[in-house]
Amino acid sequence: MKSYDIVIVGGGPAGLAAAASAKENGIDSILILERDRELGGILNQCIHNGFGLHTFKEELTGPEYAGRFIEKVEDLGIEYMLNTMVMDISTDKVVTAMNREEGLFEIQAKAIILAMGCRERPRGALNTPGYRPAGIFSAGTAQRLVNMEGYLPGREVVILGSGDIGLIMARRMTIEGAKVKLVAELMPYSGGLKRNIVQCLDDFNIPLKLSHTVVDIDGKDRVKGITLAQVDERNKPIPGTEEYIPCDTLLLSCGLIPENELSRGLGIDMEAVTNGPIVNESLETSAEGVFACGNVLHVHDLVDFVSEEAAMAGKNAVRYIKEARNEEVARIDMVPTDGVRYTVPKYIRLEKMEDTLTVRFRVGGVYKNCYISTYFDGERVMKRKRPVVAPGEMEEIKLSKAKLAEYPNLKTITVKIEEA
């Protein structure tokens, strides 16, 4: 059996950044396993720009952003295997993978970094009634067809869900010659970035119908139309508001689900809100030496944050391999409440913490003129004024080790939204 110090599952932005960071932190024996035919993951089909503003201080396209990291991985001489599917990960860190050339094979790892990304929520998960004809695509599938293969999935398009991929695809389909009739969003606010609403909808005069949903799909062979309806504050369709919209295509952009089948197979503890693994300050899961980063951990808004997080995972995997462990250390629990839906990490071991730690989270609604407040046990130690926070954008707080050390018996850190 081959063995590596670190095996990274997934060669998208998270896997690439984790690999580069691990190498830079002093581990040479690294293998990336990627199921697609090239490195870069979903970025390869994200040909729009807007990536890398934080990381590179310039606007790159998805493939360009991925290219920077692929180059780095190549320059660092990190090994990778393409067209290779990981089938299973055992608790003793044996990774079983498969490809055309080598068949089924096993690799022993000292540490594993999970970087499998996420998948799109399908129509079935939305329980949208109606027929099941051709012409219903998840936005990402349509994106692949258009951007990677040059095929037009439809000519008259309705998009359900205002997630970022849906917004991006509204613009893409328009540029490629389709008529995008509208984007419908169940919630009273968009799930996507503000800049995408402006650049992808407003600039192309595509209406965004908030508090609307698709209540019926018509067409036995191919989509012929959909019925749109307004919803009430409980997201239930309001009778009498139905409107039939003729179209041949329905794109769905209704959320992303971290792809954690391998993690579940490993028996890792999962966080119900994110559908990702529960991790500590080192981004280590409940399986010792197994780390998670990127969209498999929680769905990010910007790839820059994926890269940043993944670099931490890579660095921590190196520390795990190099440092002594197994000592029992006290843990401080992170408690998300009052509008804060979750935090990554979920708990902190002070001894293992870096000088500063970025805690990322999302909020459950739109809040204006609010504070993001941090409490150490009962005491508010930080508050940051925000003009607006929304579910579509990730938020963060930074914790300093020095500050935490001032509270020797600290049990919980609470993060909440408060009125300013």
Query: Which tokens hold the place of 8?
Result: 């990274």
**Cα–Cα distances in Å, from 240 out to 127, 130, 230?**
21, 18, 9
Q: Which is nearer to other proteins, 84 or 196 (CB)?
A: 84
Minimum Å gap between C-beta 148 and other proteins is 8
The beta-carbon contacts of 332-335 under 8 Å, at least 24 apart in sequence, are 332/404, 332/410, 332/411, 332/412, 332/413, 333/411, 333/412, 333/413, 334/359, 334/412, 334/413, 334/415, 335/412, 335/413, 335/414, 335/415
Query: Which tokens hold the place of 164?
Result: 């970022």
**Cα–Cα distances in Å, from 321 out to 26, 324, 328?**
11, 8, 17
Q: Which is nearer to other proteins, 140 or 192 (CB)?
A: 140
Q: What is the four-CA torsion angle of 282, 285, 278, 65, rounded to 10 degrees?
A: 60
Q: How far is 134 from 249, CA to CA, in rounded Å?
A: 8
Q: Which is nearer to other proteins, 216 or 338 (CB)?
A: 216
Q: Which is nearer to other proteins, 262 or 413 (CB)?
A: 262
3-state secondary structure of 367: strand
Q: Which is nearer to other proteins, 137 or 375 (CB)?
A: 137
Minimum Å gap between C-beta 262 and other proteins is 10
Minimum Å gap between C-beta 27 and other proteins is 28
Minimum Å gap between C-beta 9 and other proteins is 12
Binding site for other proteins (CB under 8 A): 35, 83, 85, 87, 98-104, 119-120, 122-125, 127, 129-134, 137-138, 140-141, 144-146, 148-155, 176-177, 215-218, 220-222, 237, 248-249, 261, 264
Minimum Å gap between C-beta 389 and other proteins is 26
Q: Which is nearer to other proteins, 153 or 192 (CB)?
A: 153
Q: Is the dihedral of CA 135, 139, 140, 143 positive or negative?
A: positive
Q: Which is nearer to other proteins, 181 or 360 (CB)?
A: 181
Strands 60-61 and 79-81: unpaired
Nearest by Cα to 111 from 281, 284, 262:
284
Q: Which is nearer to other proteins, 296 or 397 (CB)?
A: 296
Minimum Å gap between C-beta 309 and other proteins is 23
Side by side, the strands of the sheet bearing 332-336 are 347-348, 332-336, 412-419, 367-376, 379-389
Minimum Å gap between C-beta 73 and other proteins is 23
The number of CA neighbours under 13 Å toward the Cβ of 39 is: 27
Side by side, the strands of the sheet bearing 179-185 are 136-138, 249-252, 156-160, 179-185, 208-210
Minimum Å gap between C-beta 120 and other proteins is 5
Minimum Å gap between C-beta 186 and other proteins is 14
Q: Which is nearer to other proteins, 108 or 400 (CB)?
A: 108
Q: What is the DSSP letter of 58?
A: S
Nearest by Cα to 393 from 195, 193, 149:
193
